[in-house]
Structure 1
Amino acid sequence: MAKDYKRQKEDFVSNLTGSSIGDINSVALVMSLSIFMWSVLQSRMRLFSTYTPIACLIDFLLNCGAILFATTLYSSSPWVLNLLLVLPAVFIFGTSPPSPTIKSAPRPPTKSDRTKQSTLDALPMKPFITHYRGSMIIITCVAILAVDFRVFPRRFAKVENWGTSLMDLGVGSFVFTSGVVSVRSTLKAQTGTRTPLSQRLIGSIRHSIPLLVLGVIRLISVKRLDYTEHVTEYGIHWNFFFTLGFLPPFVALFQSAFDIVPSYAVLSCILGGLYELALDLTSLKAFILVAPRTDLLSKNREGIFSFFGYLAIFLAGQSVGSFVLPRQQPIRKDASKTQVVRNTILGKLAISALIWTMLFYFSISYHGLGLPVSRRLANLPYFLWVASFNSANIALCYAIETLCFPNIYKAPNKEEESQRARDATSPILFAFNRNGLAIFLVANLLTGLVNMTMPTIHMGVFESMGVLLGYVSAVSAVALGLDRLNVSIKL
Structure 2
Amino acid sequence: MDGLKERKEAFVTGLTGGTITDVYVVTSISAVSYLIWCIIKKRTNLFENPRSVLSQLLDFLLNWNNLLLAVTIYANNISLLTFLILIPAVFILLTSKSKKYVQRVIRINFKTLTVKEYLPFKSYITIYRSQMMILTCICILAVDFPIFPRRFAKVETWGTSLMDLGVGSFAFSMGVITARAYLRQHFLGKYSYFRNLFRAIKGSLPILGLGVFRLLSVKYFNYQEHVTEYGKYWNFFFTLGCLPPLTNLLSPIILKVSPLILSLTIGTTYEYILTNRGLMRYIISSPRVDFLSDNKEGIFSLIGYFCICLNGLALGSMILTVVPTPHNLTKMTSSREDLMAYHKSGKKGCDFTFTPVQGLTLISLLYHVLYLLGDKYYKYGVSRRMTNMLYVLWVSAYNSTFLLCYKLIENFVWGDVKVQYVDDKTSAKKPKNTDLSVIDPSVSVPSALTAVNNNSLVLFLVANLLTGVINMSYDTLDSSDWSGILVLMGYTFILSTFTMVLYHLGIKLR
TM-score normalised to structure 1 length: 0.90
1:256 aligns with 2:267: no
Give the whole-Å Cα distance in 1 for the aligned partners of 2:301 and 2:352.
35
2:39 aligns with 40
Q: Which amino acid aligns with 2:270?
A: Y
In 2, distance between residues paired with 1:156 and 1:259?
Answer: 37
Q: 1:375 deviation in Å?
A: 0.5
- Whether contact under 8 Å (1:72, 1:152) holds in the other structure is yes
Cα 1:337/1:204, change in 2 over 3 Å: closer
1:298-340 deviations in whole A, cap 9, x for unaligned? 010000000111111111111111111111459x9xx999779
Question: Quick check: 1:322 aligned with 2:317?
Answer: yes
Aligned partner of 2:196 among 197, 200, 219: 200
Partner of 1:9: 8
Partner in structure 1 of residue 359 of structure 2: 348
> Counterparts of 2:221 and 2:289 in 1: how far apart (Å)?
24
Aligned residues: 471
Is residue 479 of structure 1 aligned with residue 499 of structure 2?
A: yes
Distance 1:229 1:120, change over 3 A: closer
Aligned-pair distance for 1:471? 0.5
TM-score (normalised: structure 2)? 0.87
How many angstroms does 1:371 deviate by? Answer: 2.6
Indicate the SS of the match to 2:256.
coil
Match of 2:457 among 425, 429, 437: 437
Contact kept, 8 Å, 2:229 with 2:297, in 1: the verdict is yes
Aligned to 2:67: 67
Cα deviation, residue 199, structure 1: 2.3
Tell me the SS of whatever aligns to 1:159. coil
Residue in 2 that maps onto 1:100? 100
SS at match of 1:477: helix
SS in 1 for 2:117: coil
SS at match of 2:188: coil
- Name the counterpart of 1:379: 388
1 CA distance for matches of 2:34 and 2:392?
26
Is residue 47 of structure 2 the alignment partner of residue 79 of structure 1?
no
Alignment of structure 1 residues 44-59 onto 2, 5 Å:
44-51=43-50, 52-59=52-59
2-side partners of 1:181 and 1:300: how far apart?
28
CA drift of 1:171 comes to 2.4
Assess if the C-alpha contact under 8 Å between 1:346 and 1:395 holds in 2.
Answer: yes
Contact 2:46-2:54 at 8 Å conserved across structures: no
- Residues of 1 paired with 2:116 and 2:298: CA distance? 43
Q: State the shift of 1:212 in Å.
A: 1.1
Looking at structure 1, the residues matched to 62 and 279 of structure 2 have their Cα atoms a distance apart, in angstroms, of 45
Q: Deviations over 1:177-214 (max 9, x none)?
A: 12212211111111233433222221111111111111
Corresponding position of 2:424? none
Please, which moves more after superposition, 35-44 or 230-239?
Answer: 35-44
Q: What letter corresponds to residue 203 of structure 1 in structure 2?
A: R
Measure, in 1, the Cα distance between the counterparts of 2:82 and 2:372: 26
Distance in 2, Cα, partners of 1:337 & 1:393: 28
1:84 deviates by: 2.7
1:211 maps to 2:207 = yes
C-alpha displacement of 1:117? 9.3
Deviation at residue 15 of structure 1 after TM alignment: 0.2
Deviations 1:402-448 (A, max 9, x none): 01111656797998245644211111011111211221111011100
SS at match of 1:188: helix
CA 96–182 in structure 1, closer or farther in 2 if over 3 Å, else same: farther
Match of 1:392 among 396, 401, 420: 401
Distance 1:87 1:182 in 2: 39
**Gapped regions of structure 1 (runs ≥ 5):** 103-115
Partner of 1:402: 411
- Following the alignment from structure 1 to structure 2, what is the Cα–Cα distance between the partners of residues 241 and 156? 21
How far residue 478 of structure 1 moved from its aligned partner, in angstroms, is 1.4
Question: Where do 1:407-418 residues align within 5 Å?
Answer: 416-417=436-437
Q: Distance in 2 between matches of 1:280 and 1:460?
A: 44
Does residue 453 of structure 1 match 2:489? no
CA distance in 2, matches of 1:339, 1:32: 31
Give the direction of change, closer, same or farther, for the CA distance of 1:4–1:351 in structure 2 (3 Å limit).
same
Does the CA-based 8 Å contact 1:160-1:232 persist in structure 2?
A: yes
